[in-house]
Amino acid sequence: MTPRLDIREYGDSGLLVDVAHDDHESRWATAQGIRAVLEDLRPPGLVDIVATFDSVFLAFDPLVTDHAALGLVVETIGPEVVSTVAVASPRVFRVPTLYGGDAGPDLDEVASDLGMTAQELVDRHTSTTWRIRFRASPVGAPFMDGPTWPRPIPRLSEPRTRVSPGSVALSGQQCVIYPVASPGGWRLIGVTPSILVDPSGDVPVVHVPGDSLRFVSVGPAEFARLSEQPEELMVDTSA
């Protein structure tokens, strides 16, 4: 089955492309494929591309182009073009994480909502390979999905005004790491001392969609040791 694209106006300077397909993996691959093709094509006036799990948001300069012209570009990107866009040798990164306590204040409540113990949730979280589906706010945060929880994990109805950098958080069936301090409404289960972004670099973010993260539970002593000399994400050689 070929994915179907639903292209809609999204404000006077945007288009929203929804990908319809029965398979979650195909929806994501198509959305990311459209992004990759558009990054190569660079149609005039296209300013920004935000490709996520199953949609692509395009921001454009209305002084240069319009909905119809850009929509036509998207329509002419055939599914066959998109399917040829493979992620170049995806990597697996190792993410040491301190779970629970002050590092993960929502761990116990999320576990109990899911009908499991905190340890069971941590075991499930660390035994899963979490695939990075896209990068978004704040500053290159990796949005991942992995296991299917018994039910979606609800966000906080009142987001926290400050989430610490390195916080590992869950929402719905998804996982994210907050690379920098920011407001946030996802449920916090732990903190990693690893550095995810370097704004001073030309390439501020190392991980790309298609890469995966494997979380490794560390104790407070190991966490303190790693925090003293934080390192960038390390490729998991055991994988």
Partner 1 sequence: MTILTVLQSGYATVQDLGRAGRASVGICVNGAADSHAATTANTLVGNRLGSALIETTGSAFSFVASADIVIAVTGAAEKVVVDGFDQPAWETLVVPAGRHVLVEAPHRGWRCYVAINGLIEADVVLGSVAPDSLLGVGTRLLGGQELSIRSRFEGLDHPHTGVPVFRIGPSPARCAATIHVDVTPGPERDQFGHDVLDPPYEVSVSSDHVGLRASGPTPARSDAGEILSRGVPVGAVEVPPSGGLLVLLRGRLLTAGYPVPAVATATSLDRLGQARPGSTLMFRWTDTRTAVGAARDRRRATDELGRRVASAFRSSGIGHVLD
Footprint of partner 1 on this chain (CB under 8 A)? 8-14, 16, 35, 39, 47-57, 59, 62-63, 66-67, 134-141, 143, 152, 155, 157-158, 172, 174, 180-183, 197, 199-200, 203-205
19, 100 in Cβ contact below 8 A?
no
CB of 106 to partner 1, least distance (A): 16
| Cα separation of the two ends of the chain | 33
Measured from the CB atom, the residue of 116 and 180 that comes closer to partner 1 is 180
Measured from the CB atom, the residue of 100 and 106 that comes closer to partner 1 is 106
- Helices 67-76 and 24-41 pack at an angle, to 10 degrees, of 120
The arrangement of strands across the sheet holding 46-51 comes to 4-9, 14-20, 55-60, 46-51
173, 53 in Cβ contact below 8 A?
no
Q: What number of helices (H) and strands (E) belong to the chain? A: 6, 14
Q: Measuring CA to CA, which residue among 156, 149, 168 is closest to residue 98?
A: 168
Structure tokens given for 120: 């069971």
CB of 123 to partner 1, least distance (A): 26
| DSSP string computed for 119-168 | HHHHHHHHTSEEEEEEEETTTTEEEEE-S--SSPBPPPSS-EEEE-TTEE
CB of 154 to partner 1, least distance (A): 9
Measured from the CB atom, the residue of 2 and 137 that comes closer to partner 1 is 137
Measured from the CB atom, the residue of 21 and 135 that comes closer to partner 1 is 135
CB of 141 to partner 1, least distance (A): 6
CB of 84 to partner 1, least distance (A): 20
Measured from the CB atom, the residue of 6 and 123 that comes closer to partner 1 is 6
